[in-house]
Amino acid sequence: MSDLPLDLRKLLEDRARQYTTEHLESLKDGKGTVKLRLKCSDGFVVETVILEDKTGRRTACLSSQAGCAMGCAFCKTGTLGLSRQLETHEIVEQFLHARKQDETIGNIVFMGMGEPLVNFENLMKAVRILHEPSGCGLGYKRITVSTCGLSEGIERLALETPSVRLALSLITADQGKRESLIPAARTNTLPRLKKSLLAFQKEKESRITLEYVLLKGINDGRDEVRKLLEFIRGLDCLINIIPWNPVKGLPFERPESVRTEEFVRALRSEGISVTRRMTRGVSINSACGQLGGIQ
Ligand code: SF4
């Protein structure tokens, strides 16, 4: 800013900060995954992950809350409880810190710490800044909001917001099991959820991703495939199978590869689009469900 008077530049240098979050460290798994630990001005630590897919495409996985109140049984963040909502600038800064490490990042998923639809207003302001050409210039279709299944939030996303993509952590299409794994499923039942997904699809005309974390002996059987096929009837969706990533202290196991393959094959044989997420970032606790900053 050399066109500003020297005394004003000095004043800005003394008093203004470009970032409110401090980049504490970056942890790398050696396979393209990087976890950034960022400290907010009040001391909370949030985590942001840079992911790389099979094609080399780089995506920033952003957090929307410090901690999370949803308490999903298979997720490390869920054990922390909610500290607070992240402010809009704290969400945007995660992307800026990530892009400082890697300028090629061209996609964002809100799958980090927190349930984004609970922090709706701040999230949407951040999405607009991330999209704005004078901001970060990302197309809305490059931004995915992932929820554990809050029907009202999905409907709001459909009606009030730009065309971002939607991902849902379905986990199982068995109502009883879903309730035991995701407390929010008690009020957001599968029929209610389906209604909101159809409303989203009608409004946005875009494919929805259903995240299915595979838990050994719980949701990886033939009966689960049948229930899943029933649930997705009429939806344009991609099912993303994620073999569970271990979290110390949580009572789950990852199914054997052969079991996972069987599950994927059973869905594909019915003509369903399925991807199997590569296991990345486990060594640095940055894989799906493993985020949980030390405060
Ligand atoms: S899966 Fe998402 S919504 Fe559920 S506890 Fe973890 S961070 Fe929260």
pLDDT of residue 186: 98
Identify which of 49, 110, 119, 169 to mutate to test ligand 1's pocket (most ligand atoms within 8 A of the CB). 169
Domain membership of residue 95 (yes or no) is yes
Catalytic residue among 40, 72, 148, 288: 288
Domain membership of residue 293 (yes or no) is no
CA distance 185 to 66: 22
* CB 248 within 8 Å of CB 289: no
Domain membership of residue 291 (yes or no) is no
Residue 295 pLDDT level (bands cut at 50, 70, 90): very low
Q: Which domain holds residue 260?
A: 18-284
Domain membership of residue 3 (yes or no) is no
Residue 292 pLDDT level (bands cut at 50, 70, 90): confident
Count of domains for the chain: 1
**Residue 267 vs residues 109, 167, 169, 196, 229: alpha-carbon distances, Å:** 25, 18, 17, 23, 8
CB atoms under 10 Å from CB of 240, counted, come to: 19
CA distance 75 to 79: 7
Strand partners, 66: 84
When the pLDDT of each residue in the chain is averaged and rounded to a whole number, the result is: 93
Q: Residues 271-275: what's their mean pLDDT?
A: 96
Give the CATH number for residue 126. 3.20.20.70
DSSP state of 182: -
Q: Where are the alpha helices (DSSP H) in 104-209?
A: 120-131, 151-160, 175-181, 190-204
Ligand 1 centroid to residue 121 C-alpha, Å: 19
CA distance 47 to 206: 29
Backbone torsions φ then ψ of 33, nearest 5 degrees: -90, 135
Ligand 1 centroid to residue 9 C-alpha, Å: 44
Beta strand ranges found along 176-286 (DSSP E): 208-214, 237-243, 273-276
Pocket of ligand 1 (CB under 6 A): 68, 70-72, 75, 77-78, 113-115, 148, 169
The 3-state secondary structure of 14-58 reads HHCCCCCCEEEEEEECCCCCEEEEEECCCCCEEEEEEEECCCCCE
Domain membership of residue 75 (yes or no) is yes
- Is 288 an active-site residue? yes
Has this prediction a pTM greater than 0.85?
Answer: yes
Q: Residues 168-186: what's their mean pLDDT?
A: 98
- Is 40 an active-site residue? no
Q: Which atom of ligand 1 is nearest to the CA of 75?
A: 6
CA distance 286 to 231: 30
Look at residue 277 and tell me whether its pLDDT is greater than 70.
yes
CA 54 and chain centroid, separation: 19
Ligand 1 centroid to residue 8 C-alpha, Å: 45
Catalytic residue among 40, 47, 52, 61: 47
pLDDT of residue 293: 54
Q: Which atom of ligand 1 is nearest to the CA of 76?
A: 6
Q: Residues 258-270: what's their mean pLDDT?
A: 97
CA distance 180 to 196: 21
Q: Residues 218-234: what's their mean pLDDT?
A: 97
Domain membership of residue 58 (yes or no) is yes
Pairing of strands 165-169, 143-147: parallel
DSSP state of 1: -
Q: Residues 162-184: what's their mean pLDDT?
A: 97
pLDDT of residue 288: 65
User: Of 17, 15, 66, whose CA–CA distance to 38 is shortest?
Assistant: 66
Domain membership of residue 64 (yes or no) is yes
CA distance 244 to 72: 13
Ligand 1 centroid to residue 64 C-alpha, Å: 11
Going by alpha carbons, the residue nearest to atom 5 of ligand 1 is: 78
Q: Which single residue is written with the structure tokens 């991902």?
A: 167
Domain membership of residue 10 (yes or no) is no
Look at residue 280 and tell me whether its pLDDT is greater than 80.
no
Q: Which single residue is written with the structure tokens 């809009």?
A: 88
DSSP state of 284: G
* CB 140 within 8 Å of CB 164: yes
Q: Residues 91-97: what's their mean pLDDT?
A: 98
